[in-house]
Amino acid sequence: ELHFKVEDIQQFLQAASGIGSMKGCILLQFPGKINLEHYSQLEKILEALHPSDTSQQWPVAVEFRNPAWYERETTDLLREFNASMVLHDHAKANNLEGTPINEVVYLRLHGPDGNYRNAYSTEFLENLAARIGAWLKERKSVYCYFNNSLGDAFKNARELQALTNTTPGAVAL
């Protein structure tokens, strides 16, 4: 069971609307124990995050740590609410090589072995930079979060930024 109140989500969106043009993307992260049995709850959360007042709408990205979610039914639901599926390399549900499903691409990098440790190789970052470059040419918004915090997250983020020839805001680090 997911524990949330629609009213709390609405209150959060109202408070966060003050950020204005600085807003990025809301990340929903579901641990591995959350599976397709929670589909209707995910739908309620996405409905709450998609208010009719467009000034309170945010891009939403959902990170699933259970590969059972990687089904057409899930993709269709996310598209219905213009939400993205996070592409990530967490060990048990790695989908980093997947294809973005809409105009927002959200990458979460948990370390080369998916265990929050160690630096990514230059070769890996060059390949990722090429993918990001292609997405940017398609006018997609790209967010990339390095979560290898026991490794070299900041160094990797700066290297990727240099490889993509972007400034923060074009690629959120």
Q: What is the pLDDT of residues 69-109, one digit of tens each?
A: 999 999 999 999 999 999 999 988 999 999 999 999 999 99
Residues whose CB is less than 8 angstroms from the CB of residue 50 and which lie 6 or more positions away in sequence, other chains included: 57, 60, 81, 82
- How far apart (Å, rounded) are the C-alpha atoms in residues 46 and 13? 12
User: Which residues are within 8 A (CB) of 150 and not within 5 positions of it... i.e. 6 or more apart?
Assistant: 111, 116, 117, 118
Give pLDDT tens digits for 133-146.
999 999 999 999 99
Look up residue 46 and give its two tokens.
Answer: 């996405």
For the chain, what are the domain ranges?
A: 6-14+23-172
CA dist 62 → 39, 44, 130, 167, 171 (Å) = 13, 14, 23, 25, 18
**Distance of alpha carbon 111 from alpha carbon 43, whole angstroms:** 30
Would you state the CATH architecture of domain 6-14+23-172?
Alpha-Beta Barrel (3.20)
Backbone angles phi, psi at 146, to 5 degrees: -90, 120
Mean pLDDT of the chain: 90
pTM here is 0.89
Mean pLDDT throughout 155-173?
78
